[in-house]
Chains A and B, each alone.
Chain A
Amino acid sequence: MIEQLGNGLLLGIIIAVASVALSLLYGVTRIVNFAHGEIIALGAIATLFLSSPVDSRVIFLDRFSPLGNNFYISVVISVILCGLLGGILEFFLFRPLRKAEVGNIAVLVVTIGLSLFLRHIYLLFNAKPQNFPLELQRRETYLFFDMTPRNFRVLILGIFVMVLIGLFLNYTRIGKAMRAVRDSNDLASVSGINSDNIILFTWISSSMLAGLAGVFQATINDVRYNMGFLILLLIFAGTVLGGIGTSFGAMVGGFIIGIVVNVSVGLPFMEGHTEAKNAVALAIMILILLFRPQGIFGEKERVS
Chain B
Amino acid sequence: MNKTVIECNGIAAGYVKGLNILQGVDLIVDEKEIVSIIGPNGAGKSTLLKAIMGIINISGGRFFINGVEKTNTPTHQIVSEGVGYVPQVENVFPSLTIEENLEIGSWSVKGNIKQTISKLYDDFPMLKERHKDKAGNLSGGQRQILALARALVTSPSILLLDEPSAGLSPVAIKEVFEIVKEINSRGVAILLVEQNATRALNFSDRGYVLDQGRNAYQGKGQELLDDPRVIDLYLGKL
Which residues of A are in contact with B by a Cβ distance under 8 Å? 173, 176-177, 179-180, 182-184, 186-195, 299, 301-302, 304
**Is A302 touching B154 in the complex (CB atoms < 8 A)?**
no
A183 to B79, CA, bound (A): 19
Q: List 16 A-B contacts (CB under 8 A).
A: A173-B103, A176-B103, A183-B94, A186-B75, A188-B104, A190-B55, A190-B75, A190-B79, A191-B105, A192-B105, A193-B104, A193-B107, A301-B136, A302-B137, A302-B138, A304-B143
A-contact bits for B45-89, CB 8 A (1 contact / 0 none): 000000001110000000000000000001110011000010100
* Chain B interface, number of residues (Cβ within 8 angstroms): 34
Which residues of B are in contact with A by a Cβ distance under 8 Å? 53-55, 74-76, 79-80, 85, 87, 90-96, 100, 103-105, 107-109, 136-140, 143, 150-151, 154, 167
A187 to B109, CA, bound (A): 16
Q: A176-B100, A180-B104 are in contact. Are A190 and B95 (CB under 8 A)?
A: no
When distances are taken between beta carbons in the complex, the residues of chain B under 8 Å from A189 are 53-55, 74-76, 79
The 6 closest A-B pairs by CB, nearest first: A192-B108, A189-B75, A192-B79, A183-B93, A192-B107, A304-B140
Residue in A191, A301, A302, A304 whose CB lies within 8 Å of B104: A191
A-B interface contact total, Cβ < 8 Å? 80
Q: From residue A153, how far is it (CB to closest CB) to chain B in Å?
A: 34
A106 to B198, CA, bound (A): 46
Which of chain A's residues has its CB closest to B104's CB?
A180
Q: From residue B157, how far is it (CB to closest CB) to chain A in Å?
A: 14
Residue in B55, B95, B150, B167 whose CB lies within 8 Å of A191: B150
A302 to B85, CA, bound (A): 23
Q: From residue A100, how far is it (CB to closest CB) to chain B in Å?
A: 10
Which of chain A's residues has its CB closest to B141's CB?
A304
Which of chain B's residues has its CB closest to A189's CB?
B75
When distances are taken between beta carbons in the complex, the residues of chain B under 8 Å from A195 are 76
A186 to B154, CA, bound (A): 17
Q: From residue B207, how far is it (CB to closest CB) to chain A in Å?
A: 24
When distances are taken between beta carbons in the complex, the residues of chain A under 8 Å from B138 are 302
A276 to B93, CA, bound (A): 42
Q: From residue B117, how far is it (CB to closest CB) to chain A in Å?
A: 13
A179 to B87, CA, bound (A): 19
When distances are taken between beta carbons in the complex, the residues of chain A under 8 Å from B76 are 189, 192-195
Which of chain B's residues has its CB closest to A302's CB?
B136
When distances are taken between beta carbons in the complex, the residues of chain A under 8 Å from B94 are 183, 301-302
Residue in B91, B100, B139 whose CB lies within 8 Å of A187: B91
A304 to B138, CA, bound (A): 9
A301 to B100, CA, bound (A): 17
Which of chain A's residues has its CB closest to B79's CB?
A192
Most buried by A among B107, B108, B140: B107
When distances are taken between beta carbons in the complex, the residues of chain B under 8 Å from A182 are 95
**Is A191 touching B107 in the complex (CB atoms < 8 A)?**
yes
A8 to B17, CA, bound (A): 52
A81 to B63, CA, bound (A): 43
Q: A194-B76, A301-B136, A304-B143 are in contact. Are A179 and B107 (CB under 8 A)?
A: no
A143 to B2, CA, bound (A): 76
**Is B96 touching A180 in the complex (CB atoms < 8 A)?**
yes
When distances are taken between beta carbons in the complex, the residues of chain A under 8 Å from B75 are 186, 189-190
A173 to B95, CA, bound (A): 15
A139 to B140, CA, bound (A): 58
When distances are taken between beta carbons in the complex, the residues of chain A under 8 Å from B151 are 190
When distances are taken between beta carbons in the complex, the residues of chain A under 8 Å from B92 are 187
A190 to B54, CA, bound (A): 9
Q: A299-B136, A304-B167 are in contact. Are A187 and B90 (CB under 8 A)?
A: yes
A190 to B108, CA, bound (A): 10
**Is A187 touching B93 in the complex (CB atoms < 8 A)?**
yes
**Is A179 touching B93 in the complex (CB atoms < 8 A)?**
yes
Q: A176-B103, A189-B75 are in contact. Are A304 and B91 (CB under 8 A)?
A: no
Most buried by B among A186, A194, A301, A304: A304
